[in-house]
Amino acid sequence: MENKFQAVVIGGGPGGYVCAIRLAQLGIKTACIESRGSLGGTCLNIGCIPSKSLLNLSEEFHKVKNLSSKGIDIGDVRLNLSKMMKNKDKAVSILTKGVEFLLKKNNVTYFKGTGSFKSKNEISIKDDKQKETLIKTDKVIIATGSVPVSLPGIEFDENVIVSSTGALELKKVPKKMIVVGGGYIGLEMGSVWSRLGAEVHVVEFLDHITPGMDREISNEFMKILRKQGINFHMQHKVEKIIKSNVGAKVLTKDKDGNKKDFECDVVLISVGRKPNTSGLHLEKIGIELDEKKRVKTNKSFRTNLDNVYAIGDVITGPMLAHKAEDEGIAVAEIIAGQSGHVNYDTIPGVVYTTPEVASIGKTEEQLKEKNIKYKIGKFSFMANSRAKAIDDTEGFVKILADEKTDKVLGAHLIGPHVGELIGEIGVAMEFGASSEDIARTCHAHPTFSEAVKEAALSVDKRAIHS
Ligand code: FAD
Ligand code: NAD
């Protein structure tokens, strides 16, 4: 195999593999190293894809069970969890193999093994039999992603005390599941197991879920999830988790010091993720980390070393697959002498629960903090004809526009298919659109997207259907 490259990408996740493909497209001789044994990173193997598969299948199960109220009588509906898990695994396998094909198609050399720095231009790759290969390179892109964090003194066993990885692989539906942390993972995985029959309790440190999200949406989100049967214990701190033969006891304290203990069969700890730099030997070449142990980069994704770059979850910014991908493309273009860039003001965030929640740009809280004057347009799915037709009317669209210029500054949606609707607002924001621009764009009828148009009309207090 070749051992001299112009660029080597360490990590084959959405940041790394996309970067490697773009580098190769730009005529740069590229290698990509991945230690997991399959490409696609956290996202394809143990993140976005398996969780979305289970979210979809558990939602189908839940819907089918409730069809008789809609005039569709069916027989006994039973869960076959191992078959459901096989379906999820099939989706993962197809996609990860697809990425391997894409690397091959683009002439990227794929090394299976763990990469580490020998020097700033030499990378050692150790395979699972500890056989070492040394390669030389002009540029290196660190794209080693992130790993889950636990609570102090508590270790994942991925059986009773699980991270998202264990929560995607449970062998049976827990009777009672405690979810520590009401963020993206806790609410998505909590929804999956709740729909499949578990009693789910979310223990959250703050007084609201999904920190950073527009507060009005976050409040509505919690209200809807409560209605679905998920229990929330806000402003509770986990003090200790004691394992027993049947499961675990979670000891918590609320803000006033009152103790509450939860017996359960599974505890999911979803309190965030940390950058993964272990084993890279960054100290050997003097790469600087920031206060959160992320690889420190400048606007061009360059570290303190000239030829070493970093992207994705291992650097600052939201830990999202599309953010990592866009950084992968941008850094490849910068390395090729072009002017790649990422617009961090228009990175959407989507929670794939039912209903979905989607956000882009500034929240009301951020605008207030920055003293920016804004107008609000809102439209409820209750008044959207498509939503009414299929009886899926929970949620609303909220658009925030600059008071003077009408430029769209942010949009926050909760409701059916809003993870898709946010794309339209992203394009509008990239083009610097005003809410008037969205309002004057013809939207097909009857579609959920008409709620976006109506919310834009509502910025100027002229929504038609409310
Ligand atoms: P990663 O995907 O973590 O990839 C890094 C890769 O580098 C890994 O495969 C790792 O094995 C490899 N690696 C590490 N060290 C080495 C080394 N020394 N040598 C070789 N290889 C190495 N984001 C979304 O946008 N949408 C979602 O719906 C979503 N759902 C998620 C659900 C879950 C349960 C989780 C855990 C995450 C989810 N995310 C989602 C986040 C998303 O997965 C990450 O933001 C994304 O994968 C980051 O991409 P990355 O390329 O930076 O890192
Ligand atoms: P998160 O940051 O989304 O949420 C963590 C939650 O845990 C927060 O609400 C926080 O207040 C709470 N918390 C922190 N410490 C706590 C403690 N000691 N006790 C109780 N609560 C505590 O983190 P996550 O859910 O673990 O997800 C990690 C990252 O993965 C996310 O930030 C997101 O970027 C990514 N992700 C994205 C998606 C998606 O895009 N749909 C899905 C899953 C994961």
Quick: pLDDT tens for 266-297: 999 999 999 999 999 999 999 999 999 999 99
Nearest C-alpha neighbor of 49 from the set 98, 88, 102, 99: 88
Identity at 219, one-letter amino acid code: N
The per-residue pLDDT for range 105-156, each reduced to its tens digit, is 999 999 999 999 999 999 999 999 999 999 999 999 999 999 999 999 999 9
pTM score > 0.85 for this model?
A: yes
**Using a 6 Å CB cutoff, which residues line ligand 2?**
151, 180-186, 188, 203-206, 211, 237-238, 270-273, 318-320, 350-352
Buried-state track 187-200, b at ≥16 Cβ within 10 A, e below 16: bbbbbbbbbbbbbb
- Residues identified as active-site: 445
Q: Residues 264, 266, 270, 275: what is their CA dihedral angle, to the nearest 10 degrees?
A: 140
Regarding the beta carbon of 319 and ligand 1, being less than 6 Å apart is answered yes
For the chain, what is the mean pLDDT? 97
For ligand 1, whether the C-beta of 355 sits within 6 Å is: no
pLDDT at 2: 77
| 142 Cα to the center of ligand 1, angstroms | 13
Q: Which residues pair with 351 in a beta bridge?
A: 357
pLDDT bracket for residue 343 (50, 70, 90): very high
Q: Indicate the domain borders of the chain.
A: 4-146+274-342, 161-271, 346-459
Residue type for 448, please?
F
User: Comparing 4-146+274-342 with 161-271, is the CATH topology the same?
Assistant: yes
| Average pLDDT rounded to a whole number, residues 58-84 | 94
Decide whether any atom of ligand 1 lies within 6 Å of the 313 Cβ. Answer: yes
Rg (CA), the chain: 24
Q: What spacing in Å lies between the alpha carbon of 19 and ligand 1's midpoint?
A: 14
Look at residues 212, 227, 177 and name the one whose alpha carbon lies nearest to residue 317. 212
User: Quick one: average pLDDT of 288-307?
Assistant: 98
What b/e readout covers 128-162, taking b as 16+ CB neighbours within 10 angstroms?
A: eeeeeeebebebbbbbbbbebeebeebebeeebbb
* Residues paired with 7 in a beta bridge: 30, 139
Q: Considering only the top CATH level, what class is 346-459?
A: alpha beta
List the Cα angle 407/448/48 in 5-degree steps: 85
Beta bridge partner(s), residue 376: 400
CATH hierarchy code of domain 4-146+274-342? 3.50.50.60
Residue 336: its pLDDT value, please? 98
- Position 246 confidence tier, pLDDT thresholds 50, 70, 90: confident
Identify the residue whose C-alpha is closest to ligand 1 atom 35.
Answer: 47
Say if residue 219's pLDDT is above 80: yes
Residue to probe by mutation, ligand 2, list 164, 205, 222, most atoms within 8 Å of CB: 205
Residue 371 CB neighbours (<10 A): 6
How far is CA 300 from its chain centroid?
23
Rounded to the nearest whole angstrom, what is the distance from the C-alpha of residue 209 to the centroid of ligand 2? 9
Percent of the chain whose predicted confidence (pLDDT) is above 70: 100
**What's the fold here for domain 161-271?**
FAD/NAD(P)-binding domain (3.50.50)
Query: Quick one: which atom of ligand 1 is closest to the CA of 116?
Result: 18
